[in-house]
Structure 1
Amino acid sequence: MALLVGGSALAVSPEEVLSDPVLEHRAREISAGLRCLVCQNQSIDDSDADLAKDLRLLVRERLVAGDSDEQVRQYLVDRYGEFVLLNPRLNDHTLLLWIAGPALLVGGLLLLLIVGRRPTTGQPPLSAEEQAVLDELDKSAGN
Structure 2
Amino acid sequence: MTRQPLKPFLKWAGGKRWLFKSGQFSLPSFTGRYIEPFLGGGAVFFENRPENAILSDCNGRLIELFVVIRDNLQPFEALMQRHANDHSNEYYYELRSKQLRTPTARAAQFLYLNRTCWNGLYRENLSVRSKKS
Q: TM-score range by the shorter chain?
A: under 0.3
Q: Which has the higher strand share?
A: 2
Q: Which has the higher helix share?
A: 1
TM-score scaled by structure 2? 0.27
TM-score scaled by structure 1? 0.25
Structure of higher CA gyration radius:
1
